[in-house]
Amino acid sequence: MKQQPKIAELLKRIETSKQQDIELGSYEIYLFSENELEKGQIGYRYDKHKNSLISEEHGKWKEEWIVLGYETDMGDPVFVNVADDAYFVYTAERGTET
């Protein structure tokens, strides 16, 4: 992943919290640990054979998007745009274009 310093910073923030399950009302999010992050990109950043799924096409996965975890009920990805210094967190329904 090209954004290694920003990813390292995000992981440090997640690891500092010591909490991987976060509840927001009835919405629960599982955040990957540092050891889980690479595997968590499968199906989004690349396929199970490590072929890139990144594209500039509208609705396709972008280089700057990193999956941080998933919504525990439906498994929808929770991801961040590391190109934006505000680190806005997004989600999208699995199997649909964003």
In whole angstroms, what is the distance from residue 33 CA to residue 78 CA?
14
pLDDT at residue 89, rounded to an integer: 86
Amino acid at residue number 10:
L
Which neighbouring-strand residues pair with 24? 27
Q: Which pair of tokens denotes residue 48? A: 């199970």
Domain residue ranges in the chain: 4-91
Q: pLDDT tens digits, residue range 28-80?
A: 889 888 889 999 999 999 999 999 999 999 989 999 999 999 999 999 999 99
Q: Outline where 1-98 has alpha helix (H).
A: 4-17, 34-40
For residue 87, the tally of other CB atoms under 10 A from its CB is: 15
pLDDT at residue 19, rounded to an integer: 63
pLDDT at residue 5, rounded to an integer: 73
pLDDT band of 16, cuts 50, 70, 90? low
